[in-house]
Amino acid sequence: MFDPRDPYERLYWHYESRRPLSMAQIIALGSVDAETVALIWLLLEHGASLTVAGPTDPQPGVGKTTTLNALLQFLPEGTSLVYMSGMYENFAFTRIPDIDPSTTYALCNEVSDHLSIYMWGRIARRFLTLPHQGYHVATSVHADTIEDVLTMYQHDLRLTPDDINRLGLIINIGLVGRLYPPRRRWFTTHFVMPQANASKQAQSVTPLPLSLWNEFDDTFLHADQAILDELAVWAGMLPQEFSAELKQRTNCLQELSQGGGVDLHEMYDAIHDLYKRKQP
């Protein structure tokens, strides 16, 4: 059975990228900008679940695994990661007496029916409903757009709108241009969250657009203040506090992504230093 401590096993099970990159390096390559990543960082820090979606047309090297692993560095300190075993998963970790769902992320390499090391059907449905028990989830999927992700979740896997509204961040990435090497871009970043109105919660899913790639000038359009205020409420913060924390992380990422960007180890140290400076 899968042993996540073994680097060869992690690579075989598609939990490890052959060319791992830090988020600073991904920003330096132009795949996304610091403002978008800073907002994702802040949401992950407050326990958002995460889906990274790549194109349905199989394209090697799109970067779903690389992106997912890079973003995991933003999880709160003290977070426990539980690695899923694809269609062999029995969710035994949920029966551990002293496990704390609020600090536990269940990590699935991919939700799809392509391989048995991935999740699909009732196993995937149980995985994606773990947030009902207080857990957080992170995974990748094959889907071209946010609408395709939602269709997969709601119709193929039969999740309810309430289930989907607990799944947090949904990032769609892909390749652009015809030049080699290919350029990767984060086409859209959305956030879904439980609706304040219980009746709406049972009927609809309304993704909030956080970042949209503008193909005409290769820039990113960001969420307006009204959306940021909604996110602040979700995070339990005042809007002014949320904006200040967002700016702090944006400045940090802009500095770290200068040149080719710092590597994973330097990224970890920089995140740790930022948190250390914030302590009273």
How large is the average pLDDT for residues 95-113? 95
Helix (H) or strand (E) holding 132: none
> Which of the four pLDDT bands, split at 50, 70 and 90, describes residue 196?
low
Is residue 90 domain-resident? yes
193: in domain: yes
Domain extent for 210: 7-278
How high is the pLDDT of residue 87? 93
For residue 1, is it within any domain?
A: no
Which stretch of 70-84, 117-131, 188-202 has the lowest confidence by average pLDDT?
A: 188-202
Q: How many residues does the chain have?
A: 280
Domains: count for the chain: 1
- Residue 60: what pLDDT? 60
Model pTM score = 0.94
pLDDT in tens, 211-264: 999 999 999 999 999 999 999 999 999 999 999 999 999 999 999 999 999 999
Does residue 237 sit in helix, strand or coil?
Answer: coil
Q: How many CB atoms lie within 10 A of CB 248?
A: 15
Whether the CB-CB separation of 149 and 141 falls below 8 Å is answered with yes
Nearest Cα to Cα of residue 145 among 171, 121, 113, 118 = 171
Helix (H) or strand (E) holding 188: strand 183-192
Please tell me the number of Cα atoms within 13 Å of 278 on its side-chain side: 10
Q: In this structure, are residues 193 and 43 in contact, taking their beta carbons and an 8 Å threshold?
A: no
Residue 124 sits in a domain whose CATH number is 3.40.50.300
Does residue 59 lie in a domain region?
A: yes
Structural domain contains residue 15:
yes
Q: Is residue 146 part of a domain?
A: yes
Residue 82 lies in a domain: yes
Is residue 93 one of the residues assigned to a domain?
Answer: yes
